[in-house]
């Protein structure tokens, strides 16, 4: 049977048979029944039928249920009029058509109202989203402001898609020195030095593809230039919505690095000075070792001269008697040995017991001043008086072939050893010493002394009184 029905009839029957359609028709029938009940009540009060109630019912069915319910209500209305009154069919149909037109108008108005309601709901949701976005923007703006205040060296600048500055915060004003009205709307290239301004378009083009970082020089208001790390990132793919530019001022970081380097260098220097002081203290302990006092005078002097030679890296040391004739001498062990000369003039130290003579890089001067005879290539000399009871008893000479200038510390050590030897001198030292050493008085060879294991390097300058001939 359904094969021979038109498509619209089949669609209507299909709609009518589903649950939702049945409920719609039931509601339409209920509305019509309510109108009939009200018509019956009013008919007891007045003689004329109140057909307008059925128009109201059709309008309510159209507004609350839909077009199908409106059609059912119209058919029921026409059927009831024909069954309950003597109204001609044409009149009933006209009343039905009038009710149908009213229902169509109500249906159209209902659809318009529902469309407006939907648009209003969409607008309401959009407004809520905008309000939420506005609150989020306020929170982000507050967070960025706190970031500007908390970070002394890092600033955030917003750029539009063409690289113009659109947002200028307090941090940027603090770092660059510009007010917002001076730079907002201008190209961010104004913040770069001359080289950076030329490279800024290429930097912005790179940032359209991905975040770009660069070390460059930035320029403050007034022309001052500083080193900075720049990071430009797109807010959306291709930078269509603009860019963020983060600038990190390296001025304080470089100052801290320089301070750290200076501190480290000072620490290294202090450690070097401490190590030097320890070596110097060890040398003084070695030269003032009280255990040497138990040695005989000859052994005492020989050991002390040898320790002094090693401490100051001298090539030769000699102790020459100037208080007796013929003179006697001691030589420290080492490659440089001198010859004793009985009638050689004594150096100027003899006239001033507090004076130390130093000759540097002058072999002729050494040969002229020395109280002994050294090899011809000896060019440096330190001569110190060994004074006892206010008068010089001997001269201690320290010599080197090289032209190395002796430091004040080395001169002070020579003076310390001379003073200690002077304190240990005895009246019969020189005559008895040669005898105890088993060497004839006429011998011109120095007394060989034992080697010591001490090896020290001393090169710190200290103050002293000396003369240099060059």
Query: What does DSSP assign to residue 85?
Result: S
> Cα angle vertex 287, ends 270, 328, to 5°?
140
The predicted structure's pLDDT at residue 64: 66
Specify whether 327 is located in the same domain as 447.
yes
Question: Domain with 371 in it: what CATH number?
Answer: 3.30.450.40
Range of the domain at 339: 286-469
Report how far residue 441's alpha carbon sits from residue 20's, in angstroms, rounded to the nearest whole number. 146
Specify whether 323 is located in the same domain as 429.
yes
Specify whether 55 is located in the same domain as 159.
no
The predicted structure's pLDDT at residue 10: 53
Between helix 297-312 and helix 408-424 the angle, nearest 10°, is 180
The predicted structure's pLDDT at residue 110: 75
Specify whether 229 is located in the same domain as 293.
no
Specify whether 457 is located in the same domain as 327.
yes
The predicted structure's pLDDT at residue 264: 92
Specify whether 79 is located in the same domain as 189.
no
Report how far residue 113's alpha carbon sits from residue 119's, in angstroms, rounded to the nearest whole number. 10
Specify whether 98 is located in the same domain as 164.
no
State how far the alpha carbon of 95 is from the alpha carbons of 78, 85, 109, 343, in Å: 8, 13, 21, 165
Question: What backbone phi and psi angles, to 5 degrees, belong to 337?
Answer: -125, 150
Sign of the alpha-carbon torsion through 261, 263, 266, 272? negative
- Contact between residue 106 and residue 73 where contact means Cβ atoms under 8 Å apart: no
Specify whether 407 is located in the same domain as 302.
yes
- Contact between residue 228 and residue 238 where contact means Cβ atoms under 8 Å apart: no
Question: Over 399-442, what HEC string results?
Answer: EECCCCCCCHHHHHHHHHHHHHHHHHCCCCHHHHHHHHHCCCCC
Question: Domain with 189 in it: what CATH number?
Answer: 3.30.450.20
| Helix, strand, coil share of the chain (percent; to 5) | 55, 15, 30
Residues of the chain falling short of pLDDT 50 = 1-4, 9, 12, 16, 44-46, 342, 347-352, 427-470
- Contact between residue 421 and residue 317 where contact means Cβ atoms under 8 Å apart: no
Q: How many domains does the chain have?
A: 3
| 256 part of a folded domain | no
Specify whether 422 is located in the same domain as 306.
yes
**From its phi and psi, is residue 185 left (phi > 0), alpha (psi between -120 and 50) or beta?**
left
Specify whether 114 is located in the same domain as 63.
yes
């Amino acid at each position: 049977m359904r094969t021979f029905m038109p498509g619209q009839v089949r669609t209507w029957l299909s709609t009518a048979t589903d649950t939702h359609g049945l409920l719609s028709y039931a509601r339409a029938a209920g509305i019509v029944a309510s109108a009939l009940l009200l018509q019956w009540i009013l008919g007891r009060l007045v003689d004329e039928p109140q057909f307008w109630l059925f128009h109201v019912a059709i309008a309510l069915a159209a507004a609350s249920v839909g077009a199908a319910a409106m059609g059912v209500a119209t058919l029921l209305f026409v059927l009831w009029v024909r069954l309950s009154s003597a109204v001609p069919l044409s009149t009933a149909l006209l009343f039905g058509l009038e009710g149908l037109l009213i229902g169509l108008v109500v249906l159209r108005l209902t659809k318009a109202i529902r469309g407006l309601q939907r648009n209003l709901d969409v607008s309401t949701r959009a407004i809520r989203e905008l309000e939420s976005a506005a609150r989020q923007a306020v929170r982000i703006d507050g967070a960025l402001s706190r970031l500007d205040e908390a970070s002394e060296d890092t600033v955030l600048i917003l750029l539009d898609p063409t690289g113009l500055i659109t947002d200028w915060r307090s941090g940027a004003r603090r770092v660059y020195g510009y007010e917002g009205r001076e730079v907002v709307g201008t190209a961010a290239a104004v913040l770069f030095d001359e080289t950076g301004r030329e490279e800024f378009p290429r930097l912005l083009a790179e940032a359209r593809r991905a975040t770009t970082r660069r070390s460059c020089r930035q320029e403050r208001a007034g022309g001052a230039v500083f080193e900075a790390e720049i990071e430009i990132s797109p807010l959306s793919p291709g930078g269509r919505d603009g860019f963020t530019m983060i600038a990190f001022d390296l001025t304080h970081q470089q100052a801290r690095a320089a301070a750290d380097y200076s501190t480290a260098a000072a620490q290294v220097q202090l450690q070097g000075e401490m190590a030097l002081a320890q070596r110097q203290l060890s040398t003084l302990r070695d030269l003032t070792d009280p255990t040497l006092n138990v040695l005989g005078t000859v052994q005492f002097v020989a050991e002390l001269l040898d320790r002094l030679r090693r401490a100051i890296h001298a090539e030769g040391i000699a102790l020459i008697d100037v208080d007796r004739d013929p003179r006697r001498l001691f030589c420290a062990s080492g490659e440089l040995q001198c010859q004793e000369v009985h009638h050689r003039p004594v150096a100027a130290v003899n006239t001033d017991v507090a004076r130390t003579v130093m000759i540097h890089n002058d072999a002729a001067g050494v040969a002229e001043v020395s109280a002994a005879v050294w090899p011809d290539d000896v060019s440096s000399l330190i001569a110190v008086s060994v004074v006892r009871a206010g008068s010089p008893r001997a001269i201690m000479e320290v010599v080197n072939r090289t032209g190395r200038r002796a430091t004040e510390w080395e001169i002070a050590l020579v003076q310390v050893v001379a003073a200690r030897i002077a304190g240990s001198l005895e009246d019969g030292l020189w005559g008895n010493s040669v005898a105890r050493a088993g060497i004839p008085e006429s011998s011109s060879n120095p007394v060989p002394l034992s080697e010591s294991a001490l090896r020290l390097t001393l090169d710190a300058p200290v103050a002293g009184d000396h003369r240099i001939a060059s």
